[in-house]
Chain A
Amino acid sequence: MGKLVGVIASVLVGLALASGVTFAVSNASAPDKGVNLDEAPNPNNMSNTGSGGSRGGDGNVSYGSTP
């Protein structure tokens, strides 16, 4: 039983060491892969689109996104 647990642990550690670093490095090498350059929001000092009526709502920064 002890040996089996040890073997499983060794395999998991080996796989985690190899793949964990790979995943982390691949993310670091392409940090902007999620950025949509085609529809990038304009900073407001570049396009001031003031108008009357209600305030807020358009082009606001998102709190986050779900998968």
Chain B
Amino acid sequence: MITQQQARQAVVPVVAVGMALLVLGPLLGRGFVLTYDMVFAPRQYLLPDSFGLGSALPRSVPADAVVGLFTTVIPGDLVQQGILLAALIAGPLGAAHLLNTENTAVRAVAAVSYGWTAYLAERLLIGHWPYLLAYAALPWIVHFARRGNLPALVLVLVPAVLTPTGGILAAGTALVAGTKKWPTAAIALVLNAPWWVPSLLHPGGGLSDASGVQAFGATSENWGGPIVSLLGLGGIWNSEVIPASRANPIVPLITIATVALALYGLRKAPWTRGITILGAVGVLLAALPTIPGGADLLSWTVSNVPGGGLLRDSQKWVAWWALPMSIGVALAVARYRSLIIAALILPLAAMPDFALAAWGRLHTADYPDDWAHVAEILEHDPRPGDVVTQPFSAFRQFGWNQDRTQLDPAPRFLPRPTVIDDTLYVNGRPVAGEDPRAAKVRDGRPLGTLGIGWVLVEHGTPGRTDTDGLDKVYSGEWLDLYRVPGAIAAGPDGPPRAPIVVADLAAGTMIVLSVLWLALPAGRLTLLHRRQRE
């Protein structure tokens, strides 16, 4: 028999799970969601690039290593679905958990406000799953940072620090919300070391093409302009991933009303001051390319400061704004109870096309068998050399994935380091990449001298191919594999290994010690003692 209290406690989890299923339901089952930057493979191999030891900038480090570890025991499509579900459920639960109220409806408002946003929709459509995880972790980071529970803080930071952007979002939140600033800073530094150490040591120097500032700057989704789009947690640079409902003329009015309501709610909650200021900083950073002088400042930073390229895709920083918005709205409706129903309905009514796999824009696909055959050849063939893919470009539109734009899956599918062109094309204009080996391939240098022994030709996607002088090893409907004749040199030296291994070990040790502290009697007794004091 379920008691009334149990039923009340179940409301927020049911709301969170319900929203996640409403979005991801059509995608559950077998098959991969391959959209823009989101590429999962049945089994992702642990390669030097997974740890930032390759020639490419470590943008997906240590995410690739973590996915590689998971896919050694769980099929990649199930790993992908687990990650997406966890991200969409944990965020709303965390936002509701932050509220110090027994009122279930008010907590549900926080959950819906945080779990049904343009940020989630746009970042899901562009395939930035690590950002979704970071977004989901933010309320939990605030919760444990405020309490000064450092071992638990370490564990909730882990899903967020899988990429540089997620790591910065998480570190900023922990520092602002934390009561123990220096230990929190030390934790953030160590947990983020697996990406910042290889980034600093990258042979390319970590500088990026400044033209990306204009290409990846925040945009306007409607008549409200870019600032209002950002305040409404939208405004991503790529118009192809913006839900159609964001162009609705009423959206700016809803945004302005919601921001006003949230600021009213935040007024009487001093503990939210830090995260509100951080949210405002996030909006300011996101809006920088759109305000006078901002684009010049960003361009200089991107091309002169190592790692400054992180600022190019500016809209991602409004993740910091999402938490004060949802908490503020919930605190406001706690005062004006008549608004509870409206606050629960409005996010879904304003953006219904986030539901049902973004209104059918996402779907699952299976890799053609050619991919497994090629991976098997490359795994067992003793001849040396890394792989380069053709067409020599970053993105694909395969017929077997309904011609949807997706990142080349080869680096994550194949058991050898794979070079792809990291030049990105936006509106047909190139934004230069940072991989020095890719630049040499593009310039037509002999592949063997670059340590490349194999050429994978991917069919059914736009772009030209050139296989003159190569020996065909495998031929299939979707893939051909060629051997580069002649001597194959050793691959280029990536960053030095020792500091990166130390960084990985330090982060891993911190995580293991935190788990042990929380699991073993000493830590549990300390927590119990603390709770009793509270």
Partner-B contacts on A (CB < 8 A): 2, 5-6, 8-10, 12-13, 15-17, 19-21, 23-24, 26-28, 31, 34, 41-45, 48-67
Contact = CB atoms under 8 A, between A and B. Distances in A.
A6 B338 contact: yes
B262 to A, nearest CB: 13
Contact of A41 (B426, B430, B462): B462
Contact of B393 (A8, A56, A65): A56
B442 A56 contact: yes
Contacts, number: 194
Given A27-B244, A60-B425, A62-B405, 11 more contacts: A12-B346, A19-B248, A19-B249, A21-B352, A23-B353, A43-B459, A55-B421, A60-B394, A61-B393, A63-B424, A66-B215
B345 A66 contact: no
Given A17-B349, A23-B353, A31-B360, A63 B394 contact: yes
Nearest to B257: A12
A45 B370 CA distance: 15
Closest 6 CB pairs of A and B: A27-B244, A64-B238, A56-B392, A41-B462, A24-B353, A60-B393
A17 B351 CA distance: 9
A24 B392 CA distance: 36
Nearest to B395: A61
Interface in B220-247: 220-221, 237-241, 243-245, 247
Contacts of B346: 9, 12-13, 16
Nearest to B430: A57
B350 A66 contact: no
11 contacts: A9-B257, A16-B345, A16-B349, A19-B250, A24-B244, A24-B352, A27-B245, A44-B465, A50-B466, A56-B421, A57-B423
Nearest to B242: A67
A63 B425 contact: yes
B203 to A, nearest CB: 21
Chain B interface, DSSP helix/strand/loop, else mixed: mixed
B380 interface: no
B420 to A, nearest CB: 10
A14 B523 CA distance: 52
A57 B444 CA distance: 12
A64 B462 contact: no
A49 B250 contact: no
A22 to B, nearest CB: 8
A29 B359 CA distance: 11
Contacts of B460: 43-45
A43 B463 CA distance: 7
Contact of A2 (B241, B338, B442, B459): B338
B117 interface: no
Contact of A63 (B345, B426, B457): B426
B459 A61 contact: no
A14 B78 CA distance: 39
Contact of B461 (A26, A54, A61, A65): A61
B360 to A, nearest CB: 6
A11 to B, nearest CB: 9
B391 interface: yes
A26 B36 CA distance: 24
Contacts of B219: 66-67
Nearest to A56: B392
B502 interface: no
Contacts of A51: 464, 466
Contacts of A42: 462
B467 A16 contact: no
Contact of A60 (B220, B359, B395): B395
A51 B466 CA distance: 6
Given A15-B250, A19-B250, A48-B464, A63 B405 contact: yes
B444 A50 contact: no
Contacts of A19: 248-250
Most buried by A among B393, B428, B430, B467: B393
Contacts of B396: 61
